[in-house]
Structure 1
Amino acid sequence: MNSRITRRLGKAFPDALISQKRKMKPVIPFIGDTWWLGVGRVLLFTVLLFLCFFILFIRLFHLTIIRGHEYRALADGNRIRELVRHAPRGQLLDRTGKPVAVNEAQYRRLLPCEAGRTANGACVSYLTQAEGEALEKTGLPVGSFLETDWKRRYVLGSATAHILGTTGEITAGELKDEYYQLRNYRTGDRIGRSGVEAIYEDRLRGRDGKELVEVDASGRILRVLGRDTEVTGIDIILSIDAGLSQVVAQAFPEGKRGAIIVSKPATGEILAMYSSPSYDPNLMSTGLSEDEYRKLADSSDRPMFNRAIGGVYPPGSTFKIVTAVAGLEEGAITGSTEIEDTGIISVGPFSFTNWYFTQYGRTEGMVNVIRALQRSNDIFFYRTGERTGIERLAVWARRMGLGSLTGIELPGEAAGLMPDPDWKSKHFTTDADLEARNNLWYAGDTYHIAIGQGYILTTPLQTAVWTDIIAAGGRYCVPTIEKVHPGISSGPACQELPIKKETLSLVTDGMVKA
């Protein structure tokens, strides 16, 4: 209903102006409540839908164009797996070609690290050939893979343990070493730890191959896509004789400590080397726990210690060979020189006896060098050492290999000790020694050295070396554990020592008659 309003506006207008209030219509017809319920919602939904498609397009562009190659590589990685085909080590053969260290097939199982680690912290475990084949049939757990691998077996066991040595799994610390990184060593690889296995590691180790396989979502191998064949390591022919090595080990007195060395004087080749007590190197191949290894390594019998090259002992009467050579070469004695066996030599309050007199109370009369070597007469060599002098005796001892490393390839060799007055003055320097004059060299010191007693220390290998010099006619060859091939390789360096033929003949005659 319209309302009437009367206003007075002045003379220009009628006294009464009638106005009617009316409802105004909007200028834009769609602005109002009906717009949001109709066209507005459709427009907003269209804009939002467009934005969503735009965002999806940008994301798709980023995934397929910008980073597509990365995700394709990841997808292939989940579908294609590269497995290592581990190369067998080269075999170790004796001088006749008989294998003394061979390879036996086994498997290396690769485990997801987060699922559990082996005792050494690596995601690797080892299975026998039968265990690996059985696991392949039943199926591997998700994320696990099998790689063909090899373990070492030592045919003669403890008889050749100290020559052949052992292998052991590479440690995490060694894998960080540049030397092993450059040679592509991997977790679980086994390397030479001692003996021949260690010194010829680069030759024995083969070149690993590769195998590309397609796997399903559970990790099961579907098919082989490609293969790079592994290359076996180089076989090494050693100087040892397998049969002789067994005989030597069996002949050694049970429960005794010591060493036996059999060598070829003309070339320096070692035909057999046995150190007692010994150990079975096959235990290392199957894997020892840390406690088992420590028990073996810390044993008071020291079975892993190679006494043949690392043990030093007074050589005893074997050193009389050197004393005889020194005396003859220096002119202190000749082949016709005779020295009376008095049974005992007294120097002040000290007495030096012959073993025959000590045991039986008897003497042997006049003795020459041949008879002295035959009977190992101490009186003769006391006097020969005294006539030669300790300085010249020491010179000849060192020429024949005493007091320095022989140069054999095996690690752990000791140099021994050839004492002389200068050595004694440098090592007996305490106030008590000086007061007692222990730093001085006495005739009794020379007597002791001349028969291989006193301060002198040698290894069994050094004893074999100076014996070989006589047997080889004065030729000194560096001992070796690798076979010397006549006409192909000359072996380690050999040299002729300045020993007269007459000297060699006299000493040889005495040794043969002993």
Structure 2
Amino acid sequence: MRSQSWLIWLLKGVLLLSILTLFARLTELQVIKGRYYRTLAEENRVRRIPIPAPRGIIYARGGEILVGNVGSVRKYEIGSNFAHVSGIIGEVNANEVGKVDPKCPDKGPKRLGSLVGRGGLEEEYDCRLRGIDGEQLLEVDTAEKLIRVLGKKDPISGEDIKTNIDYGLQKKVADLINNKRGAIVVSDGQGQILALYSSPSFDPNLFLGQENSDKINKILSDKTIPLFNRVIAGTYHPGSVFKIVVATSALEEGKINKDFVYDDPGVITVNGFNYSNWYFNQYGGREGAIGLTRAIARSTDTFFYKIGEMVGPDLIASWADKFGLSKKTGIDLPGEVAGFIPTSVWKESFKGERWFLGNTYHMAIGQGDVSLTPLSVNMETSVIASKGFLCEPSIAHEPICKKLEIKDSNIELIKEGMVGACSKGGTAFPFFDFRIGVACKTGTAETNKKEVNHAWFTVFAPIESPIIVVTVLVEEGGEGSSVAAPIAKDIMDYYFSNHKVDD
């Protein structure tokens, strides 16, 4: 009997322990972890649906829409005419998902499927253009059918941006250089960019849909590189448009003055190498005794060989640096490349070669190792147009300008030479009869291909109070006077037909 009693009590104890364990477990599930499992259950039937925020609109200076939205779709209103400035948008990549842009932490982490700017203003001002996404909370059943809307957080649209771009002018410059490889940049002479176009271009609207993959692949494989922004990233020998800097250096360093005269021999021979003037090469002619203004007007190479020799390469480089030509201009577009100005130290360090007089001659006419972007040439020209102010080019903000230490009298001498270039007897014959007074410089820059030249032209008007500076580059186009200048003239015609001025 005692053994049976002991066994009964053991069984009762085990049963009691089991009941207590079960009770403890139920208490844990219902009381301690009840909220946790309730949350899991709710999340199984609650869906968070992101509501993409509309990006900000990009406007031209006159209020016209350059980039807008049609519903939830981005629309590039003038397509390829503005592609290199607008940029495009694209989905966040795997490396960007979950990361916060330190420039705009208030926008939160980037989520899979969200859109960000790629290139152009879309990238440069992505933080401002990108809004804050909203969200909708939906309750669904086990079949994912909507039961009810639990809540909604409206998206906050991105900030609109107003640019300095002249809407009509932007379309005009695109039409004028279409089907040619090259670049056009138009500014107001004080940093504001009125138009900027790189050719060939592309339609940014094509990058908004998967159905355009074939067309996109064609753009990506195009040997003319339509995605490449030649205005800010293409570097070229500037040729004679660089003579503006060489003339400034010679005047400011006191090597020449307004009375300096050089007797053009047509060709200069140094150690068996001939360095000739274009007029001698083409017509066998000589300019005779000429001063600075005439040399600029006629783009006399031998004159600039000589004053380049007088100044020396390092001082020329120093003045090029003061003009901002050896670094990025600072324009508010991503992907800009700095120009390059050689020095004797650079050549010895990187090429392991001495600097020869012939190198100075080449430098003095914008050849050799000198390379500039079309944007930097426009900025160089604007220094003369603005009477000595170097302004950071701007698409969508107020330009920053500083006064260079150049004597007013020297600027006036260079300007006089540039006026002569666009007058009868100068090199820019398309402008001889232009209805507004202009100042200009032609450039024909040699390439590494025999008898293939880049065509340059840079011009501002009106002469005394400029409101427009135009720079045209036609890549491997030929002579600046016959190829680039007519394009610039058409731009000037259009502009002054729509803007009344007094010269």
Shorter-chain TM-score tier: 0.7 to 0.9
Measure how far apart 1:291 and its partner are. 7.2
Equivalent in the alignment of 1:496: 403
Measure how far apart 1:298 and its partner are. 4.1
Measure how far apart 1:215 and its partner are. 2.7
Moved more, 494-503 or 380-389: 380-389
Residue 342 of structure 2: SS of its match in structure 1?
Answer: coil
Distance in 2, matches of 1:426 and 1:452, equals: 21
Residue type of the partner of 2:95? G
Residue 173 of structure 1: SS of its match in structure 2?
Answer: coil
Equivalent in the alignment of 1:251: 176
Equivalent in the alignment of 1:388: 311
Distance in 1, matches of 2:24 and 2:359, equals: 96
Distance in 2, matches of 1:421 and 1:57, equals: 90
Distance in 1, matches of 2:337 and 2:415, equals: 28
Residue type of the partner of 2:308? G
Measure how far apart 1:242 and its partner are. 1.8
Matching residue within 262, 265, 273 for 2:189: 265
Residue 417 of structure 2 corresponds to residue 510 of structure 1 = yes
Please tell me the root mean square deviation across aligned C-alpha atoms, in Å: 2.8
Equivalent in the alignment of 1:441: 355
Distance in 2, matches of 1:478 and 1:454, equals: 27
Equivalent in the alignment of 2:228: 305
Distance in 2, matches of 1:405 and 1:383, equals: 30
Residue type of the partner of 2:51? R
Equivalent in the alignment of 1:122: none
Equivalent in the alignment of 1:364: 287
Matching residue within 169, 184, 191 for 2:91: 169
Distance in 2, matches of 1:274 and 1:416, equals: 19
| 8 Å contact from structure 2 (residues 206, 212) kept in 1 | no
Matching residue within 180, 188, 204 for 1:281: 204
Equivalent in the alignment of 1:414: 337
Distance in 1, matches of 2:20 and 2:354, equals: 101
Equivalent in the alignment of 1:209: 134
Distance in 2, matches of 1:236 and 1:253, equals: 27
| 8 Å contact from structure 2 (residues 263, 289) kept in 1 | yes
Measure how far apart 1:76 and its partner are. 2.5
Residue 427 of structure 2 corresponds to residue 461 of structure 1 = no
| 8 Å contact from structure 2 (residues 56, 131) kept in 1 | yes
Measure how far apart 1:339 and its partner are. 1.3
Distance in 2, matches of 1:333 and 1:53, equals: 109
**Residues matched between the structures, number:** 409
Measure how far apart 1:58 and its partner are. 7.3
Residue type of the partner of 1:100? L
Distance in 1, matches of 2:202 and 2:211, equals: 13
Measure how far apart 1:74 and its partner are. 3.1
Distance in 2, matches of 1:241 and 1:327, equals: 37
Equivalent in the alignment of 2:75: 153
Distance in 2, matches of 1:449 and 1:51, equals: 98
| 8 Å contact from structure 1 (residues 203, 234) kept in 2 | yes
Equivalent in the alignment of 2:387: 473
Residue 412 of structure 2: SS of its match in structure 1?
Answer: helix
Measure how far apart 1:51 and its partner are. 12
| 8 Å contact from structure 1 (residues 316, 451) kept in 2 | yes
Equivalent in the alignment of 1:108: none
Distance in 1, matches of 2:17 and 2:406, equals: 103
Equivalent in the alignment of 1:235: 160
Residue type of the partner of 2:154? T
Measure how far apart 1:160 and its partner are. 1.3
The one-character-per-residue Cα deviations of 1:337-395 (angstroms, maximum 9, x if unpaired) are 22122211111211111111111111222211111111111121111111222222111
Residue type of the partner of 2:96? E
Distance in 2, matches of 1:393 and 1:170, equals: 46
Equivalent in the alignment of 2:461: none
Distance in 2, matches of 1:171 and 1:481, equals: 28
Residue type of the partner of 1:317? S
Residue 334 of structure 1: SS of its match in structure 2?
Answer: coil
Equivalent in the alignment of 1:69: 35
- 1:55/1:401 CA distance change after superposition, 3 Å: closer
The one-character-per-residue Cα deviations of 1:176-216 (angstroms, maximum 9, x if unpaired) are 54648962221100111111111211111111112223334
| 8 Å contact from structure 1 (residues 95, 483) kept in 2 | no
Residue 95 of structure 2: SS of its match in structure 1?
Answer: helix
| 8 Å contact from structure 2 (residues 48, 137) kept in 1 | yes
Unaligned segments of structure 2, at least 5 residues = 1-14, 422-503
Distance in 1, matches of 2:213 and 2:98, equals: 22
| 8 Å contact from structure 1 (residues 213, 221) kept in 2 | yes
Distance in 2, matches of 1:324 and 1:90, equals: 46
Distance in 1, matches of 2:313 and 2:270, equals: 17
Residue type of the partner of 1:400? F
Measure how far apart 1:59 and its partner are. 7.0
Question: What is the TM-score when the length of structure 1 is the normalising length?
Answer: 0.74
Matching residue within 84, 88, 105 for 2:50: 84
Moved more, 291-300 or 336-345: 291-300
- 1:462/1:288 CA distance change after superposition, 3 Å: farther
| 8 Å contact from structure 1 (residues 92, 237) kept in 2 | yes
Distance in 1, matches of 2:369 and 2:162, equals: 39
Which has the higher Rg, Structure 1 or Structure 2?
Answer: 1
Measure how far apart 1:249 and its partner are. 0.6
| 8 Å contact from structure 2 (residues 326, 338) kept in 1 | yes
Unaligned segments of structure 1, at least 5 residues = 1-48, 106-149, 430-438, 485-490
Distance in 2, matches of 1:332 and 1:51, equals: 108
Equivalent in the alignment of 1:404: 327
Distance in 1, matches of 2:163 and 2:336, equals: 19
Taking only the aligned residue pairs, the percentage that are identical comes to: 44
Distance in 1, matches of 2:122 and 2:51, equals: 21
Distance in 1, matches of 2:20 and 2:383, equals: 93
Measure how far apart 1:466 and its partner are. 0.8
Residue type of the partner of 1:154? Y
Distance in 2, matches of 1:75 and 1:259, equals: 61
Distance in 2, matches of 1:227 and 1:373, equals: 68
